[in-house]
Amino acid sequence: MCGIAGLVMHDGTTPPIEILDRFARALGHRGPDGEGKHLAGPVGMVMTRLAIIDLMTGDQPIYDPGGVALIANAEIYNYVELRTQLSDVAFTTQSDCEPPLHLYRRNGLSFADDLRGMYAIAIHDPAEGRLILARDPFGIKPLYYVEKPDLFAFASEPSALIAAGLVEAIEDPEHRDELLQLQFTCGRNTIYKNISRVLPGETLEIRGARIVSRHQRSALPLPDSTEISQDTALERFNDALIDSVEKHQRSDVPYGLFLSGGTDSATMLALLARHSDHPVQTFTAGFSERGVHDERSHARQLAKSVGAEHHEVEFTEEDFWSLLPQIAGCMDDPAADYAILPTWKLAREAAQELKVVLSGEGGDELFAGYGRYRSILRPFWQGGRAIRPRGIFDRLRVLKHENNAWRDGIVSAEATATIPGRTKLQIAQATDVADWLPNDLLTKLDRCLMSHGLEGRTPLLDQVVADAVFSLPDHFKVQNGQGKWILRQWLAENFAASRPFEKKRGFTVPVGEWMGRHSDRLGELVAKDPAVAAVCHPSRIKALYSSTKKRARFAGWALLFYALWHRRNIRNLPADGDTFECLSSH
């Protein structure tokens, strides 16, 4: 994995080397193992490398004989197969990122259609006078850009574009409201004015510092109404799952697994243990709060059953107050998800021993694990409802200006997902795959891990797995009030110790309890924060932190996260000190 960045000058001049240096410094945490630069005509590119495959000769940029240059934040899992297909090519490295360069020579802008993996790729073709940017279909790897009259720039993180001096950290009020109500932002536009996302699966062509074409590759297959038996569905799923996990194990450095004890990570554990020649290293998070349920004991049992080398990491109340400013600060593309807390600390611990961890991210989206999916299948008189019908702050009377414009992004994603032949469940899944997955869950995973120079791999988010399960009839996903039916059935047959059909509560981050113990002080400090005071009624904020109601507590968390995020990423203040110290210094 790496950090990548670059720019194209509209007037044809050579990009300033000091801007590339600023990019490299800003992205150093993503790639502590090396740095490479490319300058040719009006284009400059830089990458910081985290060496995973081809440790000796895999430095970037990679060039072809014609002078085309590639930099990539990527793991291409089918690179072995692609090298075989490109048998007439004289490869100069063993890097998994070299095949895309030669595929570009052969297939032009459709080069990414043959790639299987997670990637954000930049290719400069001086002879054609163009820069190409491509992002993987699920949006596992991030990529952002700025388009200005005098230049076009891109980077792995918005903060790098800001640190390079190419754009100011100015908040977009519309997307700020979206963040507060939804806990993430949707679509192409980020919370920053003038910083955009390359969408998942998108390939951009840039000429003269202007985007001239876009090509989109979907992560999900088209609807398929072909009847299929249970045995056939399980067989196809089994084959796809094994193939994906085997390819995700391609690495020249050791790897481990984030094990929650749930069905998704249990599936990863079963396959890793079966196909690894050494004990799997597993990492599980838990919480010290009494009365809070977590899955540590179950995860410990699962790890023991396969002989894994198990590590448990406790996230305490002290951690919450001391680490939250750093954690919120690292989420430069903000996602106010509780799960950033244990993920960040798990990554810090795992990075002391490893460079790569696998996780079960994507299982709920592909296999219909969320309760909201089951609600969608019910008629409205039985509790059925639309996707995210209300925001975090709806009817709490805390925001100064409330409207439903924050739902525009979700409505747009749902409209795009609604294609002939898809069921209501598949539309809901596709909507989440378009926005919730890349802009919340995968952003969380990327920033929390890359803050510690750790690569995250997600075998369930594989084109082969998606092709095998997404278009299955709804009853293969939801049965007897439970989601993920086909995954649970596979576990029952292959890893019975996981007890897949038992109801799991999962772990709960006790943020509400922690905030409630300091409700008066916390409410006063958050209410005085200038960013929060600009959008909320200060007199109504304090009640959120003393309330025992779930929605009020979650709203309080959203404001606390927002205050610390804004302080670091908009006002550029340091994340030194604990939460109270940071909130006290404006």
Query: Does 57 lie in the same domain as 131?
Result: yes
Task: Tell me the mean pLDDT in the region 14-36.
Answer: 94
pTM, two decimals, is 0.96
pLDDT tens-digit series, residues 269-321 = 999 999 888 899 999 999 877 666 678 999 999 999 999 999 999 999 999 99
Model confidence at 45, pLDDT cuts 50, 70, 90, reads: very high
* Domain-terminating residue out of 170, 192, 216: 216
Residues 147 and 253 placed together within one structural domain of the fold: no
202 and 319 in a single domain? The answer is no
Look at residue 311 and give its three-state secondary structure: strand
- Residue numbers of the domain that contains 74: 2-216
Task: Tell me the per-residue pLDDT of 160-217, one tens digit each, with 9 for 90 and over.
Answer: 999 999 999 999 999 999 999 999 999 999 999 999 999 999 999 999 999 999 999 9
Tell me, what's the pLDDT at 205? 98
- Both 282 and 362 in one domain: the answer is yes
Q: Are residues 256 and 164 in the same domain?
A: no
Query: Which pLDDT band, with edges at 50, 70 and 90, does 479 fall under?
Result: very high
Q: Is residue 224 part of a domain?
A: no
Residues 248 and 345 placed together within one structural domain of the fold: yes
- Tell me, yes or no, whether 236 and 198 share the same domain: no
Looking up tokens 């001086």 gives 126
Task: Please report whether residue 451 resides in a domain.
Answer: yes
Q: Say yes or no: 108 and 136 in one domain.
A: yes
Give pLDDT, residue 507.
63
Q: How confident is the model at residue 585 (pLDDT cuts 50, 70, 90)?
A: confident
Q: Is the peptide bond before 530 cis (omega within 30 degrees of 0)?
A: no
What is the number of alpha carbons within 13 Å of residue 539 lying toward its C-beta?
A: 0
**Domain termination residue (choose one: 216, 243, 272):** 216
Domain assignment present for 289: yes
Are 133 and 42 found together in one domain? yes
pLDDT at 570 over 90: yes
378 occurs within a structural domain: no
Per-residue pLDDT tens over the stretch 310-353: 999 999 999 999 999 999 999 999 999 999 999 999 999 999 99
- 420 within domain boundaries: no
CATH number where 186 lies: 3.60.20.10
Looking at the structure, tell me whether residues 319 and 270 fall in a common domain: yes
pLDDT tens figures, 91-135: 999 999 999 999 999 999 999 999 999 999 999 999 999 999 999
How far is the CA of 420 from the CAs of 57, 391, 433, in angstroms?
48, 29, 18
Residues 553 and 484 in one domain: no
Q: In this structure, is residue 449 part of a structural domain? A: yes
**Same structural domain for residues 483 and 345?**
yes
pLDDT, mean of residues 446-453: 96
Instruction: Write out the H or E segment, with its range, that includes residue 230.
Output: helix 230-248
State how many domains the chain has. 3
**Rounded distance between C-alpha atoms, residue 164 and residue 43, angstroms:** 15
Token pair of 48 as six digits = 């910081």
**How far is Cα 500 from Cα 16, in angstroms, rounded to an integer?**
56
Cα(269)–Cα(371) distance, rounded to whole angstroms?
24
- Specify the pLDDT at position 34: 84
